[in-house]
Each structure stands twice: as structure tokens, then as C-alpha cells.
Amino acid sequence: MKNVMRFVLVFSLVFAACGGGNTDDPVVRDLTQTEQKLVESSNLFGFSLMKEVVALSDGGNVFISPLSVSFALGMTYNGARGTTEEGMRSALEYGDLTAEEINQSYRDLIDILTALDPKVTMEIANSIWIREGFEALQAFVDVNRTFFDAVVEVLDFADPGAAAVINAWVDEKTHGKITEIVEAPISPVTVMFLINAIYFKGTWTYQFDPEDTSDGTFHAPEGDQAVKMMHLHGELSYQENADFQAVNLPYGDGLFFMTLLLPKPGKDLDELIGSLSGENWSAWLAGFYPQEGDLYMPRFELEYETSLNDVLKALGMDVAFSGAADFTGINPGGGLFISNVKHKTYVKVNEEGTEAAAVTSVEIGYESEPLTFHLQVDRPFLFVIHDAHSQALLFVGKIVNPPSE
């Protein structure tokens, strides 16, 4: 893990250019009130998620995709019932949105974000992988196909190559930036994976000239390190207050931005992250103004991986990870719970722009033995007869050619 960076990168999705954007922005429709509510919910969840991940991290780099986690858990939410549903609703900040409004808004966000800027590549893909022999309710499958464009596949999880099939889908959807999310062999109590993949590639509206990139020094907590420092001069969207300096860097036609916040000397980065809230974020975005100046920032490339189990439990989803979980909306037989929420990300920032990818996998397990198994004793076998109290071996047999009666 590279040394901690003294700035926060937030990919802000805005639907009107903040200062410094292109004046010839494409015309896009306004979000409906319900869609805006879901975006606000996703952002509030993202701020809470970031704060908890940082709080539970080792103090190093952190790079997450709240949108990816929201999509993966949004699919899972369709199978939650009772207190499990309530905990997920609270953690995901859904508020008073109905299930129908939530699903339709996810559907609309896919359409809006992937077509927002023709000069920016923004791809969102969802999939559900079901263990062969496990019966998922058709209503659960249908709602995720309809509103999340989810690819639904039944797979023999006992096959040693099953994980590779899922990982090949992840590899394709992230353009090779994330190649694995499921480890082999798949646990015998795992019955389902719900996976979201996001891929983003945008060129800066105002690109850095590679000839202006020079050797620089980055002052990390562990000590100074050499970096390649990019330089951009011009009128940029900027703001400064007692806590930080910030710049808003547009991509493409100015409908996607990187907002970079640098704490003032003596100010703590984790305290800035801790102040993330819907109110503060709105105020910060409204505070940018055009100003001529110089920006120096390092080129960097980062891969990040974490389990979000403890983070999501801290946000109120603890029941979903326990034997008390109620996912009877997936299968009415009960016994299902979330065994792991795995999150992987990638980001590369250079003179041309930014390339980023994220994958979130929600693994659904069964609290006892696998629901079904197939054992065909059609080859030589061993058998043992023993007592249940002392475990003394009474008989041990090897059968190579079983005699008939």
C-alpha cells in the first residue's frame, strides 16, 4: 500500500457544470424528485461509508465507490424482509422512498449516468450468480433483471472452475482493471453472489501538458517520497477557506468532475473526512468560483480492496449478517444471510485524465449445510462402524467390488 495521500478524491456527479466547465455542455433532462432523493440517499450513504472505512482502516490509502456498493446492496435489498429490510433501509439512507421508487430510480440512474457525457466512458453492470440446485424466487430475479439490468446465471458452485466464470465477467466489465472478486473454491454454504461493476474513463477538459510534469516531493506521514508532479495553469474552478483549498476539475463536456480537497497545513485529513455530510458537501460545491492559478498534483495509480462487513454492521446492517437475517424475499425457506460484502477498486490519474473501476460482491450464504447435495457411491469406498459415545472403531471396511445379497 502506498503512503497515505493528503487529499480526498471524490467523483461528484453533477448535472450542471460548476465554474470552470464547458459552456457548451450537452442538454440533459432534470432528475425527478424521486431520482434526486435516491442520489441524495446514495451520497449520504457514501459519506457514512467513507467515514467508517477510514475509521476502520490502517491509516493508509482508501478509495471506494459508494455508487457500486449502493447498487449491489440495492439488488440484495429486494430480498430483505422484516428487521433485515429495516436495517438495510436505514444504512442505505432510503428514507421514505418505496421499494418501487427505489428500484425505478436505480433503473433511471443507469440510463442517465451511462449516457450523460459522450466524451466520458461510464459503464454500470450488474449480475446475480445462483448455485445450481438453489431456488431463488422468480419475483426476486425478475425485479433485479428489470430495474438493474442484472445478468442472472445458474452455476455449479462445486465446479472448480465456477469462480473463474464469475471473475471473467468482472474482468470484462472493468476492462481488465479488476480481474478477481470471487476466490476459489467457493464455500459450500454460499448460494448466491450479487455483483456490481462500474467502469469510468474520462479525459480532462483542460489536460495537463506532459512536458510540464516534473520530479516532485510528496510529504507523507511516513516520510517524504518522490513523485511525478503534474502542472496545470489557467482559470480553474477554485475555492479556499480556513480548513482547505479545493479545485473542481471537469472531464469531457463538464458533466463529470473530480473535486480535490487539500487540508490546510496543520489541519487533519481524517477530520475533514469526518465532516463529510450532505449539508457540507452542498455548501462546498456551491462555493467554487473561477480563478486563475496553478495546480500541481501527483500522478498516481492505486488498487484497493476491503471487506465491508464490519463497516456495514456499524451503519446498522448487523442483522443482515447474522443467523437472524430475513431474506425470505430471495427464498421463503429462510436461513439465508450476507456472509461477505467484498469491495475492490482501481484508479489511475495522469496528464490525460482518469480511469477508475469498482466491483462490489454481496455473497449470500446458508446458515447450515448446503441446501442440496449429490452423492453417488459408484466407485470403491471406505466405511466405518463405531459407537457414538466412545467413538471406538467397531468395524472398518474397504469396498472395491460390492457383493450382492
When pLDDT is cut at 50, 70 and 90, the band that residue 377 belongs to is: low
pLDDT for the residue 394: 58
Cα–Cα nearest to 208, from 244, 245, 240, 251: 251
pLDDT for the residue 58: 87
Domain interval for residue 235: 1-377
184 or 59: which leads in pLDDT: 184
When pLDDT is cut at 50, 70 and 90, the band that residue 385 belongs to is: low
pLDDT for the residue 13: 37
Query: Is 174 inside a domain boundary?
Result: yes
Check pLDDT > 90 for residue 209. yes
| pLDDT tens column, 73-127 | 999 999 999 999 999 999 999 999 999 999 999 999 999 999 989 999 999 999 9
Q: How far is CA 362 from CA 66, 127, 219, 291, 343, in A?
A: 14, 11, 37, 44, 9
The residue type of 119 is K
**What average pLDDT does range 347-365 have in this prediction?**
95
**What average pLDDT does range 338-343 have in this prediction?**
97
The total of structural domains in the chain comes to: 1
| pLDDT tens column, 28-63 | 778 889 988 888 888 899 999 999 999 998 888 998
Q: How far is CA 262 from CA 7, 9, 213, 378, in A?
A: 5, 10, 20, 67
Check pLDDT > 60 for residue 16. no
| pLDDT tens column, 248-305 | 899 999 889 999 889 888 989 999 999 999 899 999 999 999 999 999 999 988 899 9
Q: 35-44, 54-63, 320-329, 363-372: which has the highest mean pLDDT?
A: 320-329
pLDDT for the residue 3: 36
Check pLDDT > 50 for residue 401. yes
pLDDT for the residue 365: 95
Distance, CA of 48 to CA of 275 (rounded, Å): 10
Query: Is 388 inside a domain boundary?
Result: no
Q: Residue 47: give its domain's CATH number.
A: 3.30.497.10
22 or 60: which leads in pLDDT: 60
pLDDT for the residue 31: 84
Check pLDDT > 70 for residue 138. yes
Query: Is 158 inside a domain boundary?
Result: yes
- 120-131 β-sheet, strand order: 151-155, 120-131, 190-203, 353-366, 336-349, 300-307
Query: Is 387 inside a domain boundary?
Result: no
pLDDT for the residue 35: 87
**What average pLDDT does range 176-197 have in this prediction?**
96
Check pLDDT > 80 for residue 382. no
The residue written with cell numbers 466491483 in the block is: 359
68-72, 151-155, 368-372, range with the lowest pLDDT: 368-372
pTM exceeds 0.85, yes or no: yes
Query: Is 402 inside a domain boundary?
Result: no
Query: Is 300 inside a domain boundary?
Result: yes
pLDDT for the residue 399: 55
pLDDT for the residue 28: 72
Q: Is the dihedral of CA 162, 163, 167, 168 positive or negative?
A: negative
pLDDT for the residue 391: 54
Query: Is 208 inside a domain boundary?
Result: yes
Please give the share of the chain, as a percent, with pLDDT higher than 90: 67
11-15, 214-218, 396-400, range with the lowest pLDDT: 11-15
Please give the share of the chain, as a percent, with pLDDT higher than 70: 84
Q: How many residues does the chain have?
A: 405
Query: Is 398 inside a domain boundary?
Result: no
Mean pLDDT of the chain: 86
